[in-house]
Structure 1
Amino acid sequence: MLDSDLLWRRCAHLGRVLLPLVDQEPGRQADRHENLRTWGITTVAGERLIEVFASLAVHAVATDASMPATELDALPLRTVADAATGKRDFELLAGLPHTFTDDHDEQAVSLFRLSVYEGGHAARKLFQLSREVRHALIVLAEHTPMSCHTCGDAFRRAAAFGLPQ
């Protein structure tokens, strides 16, 4: 397996565990669902876009730093949170694998890509989702009883909660 494939899979894993970890905080899920409704985004589509947005932000930071997948554990979640709102949407798509081993990931990235290139209302939704991703990462990194300062902390906490690998 190429390191780029392994890197993406680890980034996607972080995206998939982000919301279940953040939802350990009381009221977090209800607030997110209300935000999505306010923005006219269905819960299922919004949460999947949040997952892929987080995955893309982790991947962009790791790619920019030429970080191999084996070093992803040391990446601070705060840095990923900054990338979620600090990078332009199309910048998050740079350096992705050409193919994905998981069809679910490929479909989610395609939906993200479509929203980026569609512009207008779709771009506005991505902006709103970027803020939600940033907030979720900050909550996870700094405002939970068992804060996860790095990606590795989040992976270990997800394993402790029995979340799928």
Structure 2
Amino acid sequence: MTSDHDMLWSRCAYLGRVLLPLLDQEPWHQDRRRERLRSWGIDVAVGERLMEVFASLAAHAVAVDTSLSASELETLPLSAVADAATGKQDFELLAGLPDTFADDRDDVEVKVFRLYAYKGGQTSHQLFRLSTEVRHTLAVLAARESAPSPTCGDIFRKADEAHLPL
């Protein structure tokens, strides 16, 4: 049986995975993001996957800090996730994660994030740049919503409407 904590991570990971495909419904966003990543010396595939896990970690950190269950994640404002992406220290984002992950990709990417966070120097600077890129992505998606304070649930609904895979 899957624990609520594992389900919470799973929902947060899903949020991270759907952000870029939703943003890229306007293709020029993808072109600009990839151009920025290259100009920063970040491999596009690595940078985009780290952005996904960054968003997942930020959502998870806020959910854990506010004691949200997996079913309550839909109520989490995107602004809170954006604030966590740029406002929390890397090690704060890593606190409270599950010991194991159902998806091997999540396990690998969290380990890569952890290596970047603890290596310091240029990699820390790259994480900072990625955090601002995640914040920008969340801000653009939030601005597309008609609701005054868009939530993770709004993103989940958009992902469902776009037929993005779970």
Q: Please state which band the TM-score falls in when normalised by the shorter chain.
A: over 0.9
Residues 123-162 of structure 1 show CA distances to partners (whole Å, capped at 9, x for unaligned) of 00000000000000010011x2667811001001001001
Unaligned runs of 5+ in 2: none
**1:24 aligned partner, one-letter code:** Q
Output aligned runs, 1:68-147, within 5 Å: 68-142=69-143, 144=144
Question: What is the match of residue 55 of structure 2?
Answer: 54
Residue 163 of structure 1 aligns to a residue whose secondary structure is coil
Residues 98-118 of structure 1 show CA distances to partners (whole Å, capped at 9, x for unaligned) of 000110000000000000010
Q: Does the C-alpha gap of structure 1 residues 7 and 145 become closer, same or farther in structure 2, counting only changes over 3 Å?
A: closer
Residue 27 of structure 1 aligns to a residue whose secondary structure is helix
**2:60 aligned partner, one-letter code:** H
Identity within the alignment, %: 61
**2:133 aligned partner, one-letter code:** E
Question: What is the match of residue 153 of structure 1?
Answer: 154
Q: Distance in 1 between matches of 2:135 and 2:51?
A: 10
Q: What value does the CA root-mean-square deviation take over the aligned residues? A: 1.2
Residue 5 of structure 2 aligns to a residue whose secondary structure is helix
Residues 72-125 of structure 1 show CA distances to partners (whole Å, capped at 9, x for unaligned) of 001010110011000011100000000001100000000000000100011000
Question: What's the TM-score once normalised by structure 2's chain length?
Answer: 0.96
Moved over 2 A (4+): 144-148
Residue 101 of structure 2 aligns to a residue whose secondary structure is coil
**1:153 aligned partner, one-letter code:** D
Q: Distance in 2 between matches of 1:107 and 1:92?
A: 16
The offset of 1:25, in angstroms, is 2.6
Question: What is the match of residue 30 of structure 1?
Answer: 31
Question: What is the match of residue 68 of structure 2?
Answer: 67
Q: Distance in 2 between matches of 1:39 and 1:102?
A: 29
Q: Does the C-alpha gap of structure 1 residues 5 and 26 become closer, same or farther in structure 2, counting only changes over 3 Å?
A: same
Q: Distance in 2 between matches of 1:156 and 1:145?
A: 11
Q: Distance in 1 between matches of 2:15 and 2:27?
A: 21
Residue 98 of structure 2 aligns to a residue whose secondary structure is coil
Q: Relative to structure 2, which stretch is displaced further, 93-102 or 24-33? A: 24-33
Q: Distance in 2 between matches of 1:71 and 1:128?
A: 30
Q: Does the C-alpha gap of structure 1 residues 20 and 91 become closer, same or farther in structure 2, counting only changes over 3 Å?
A: same
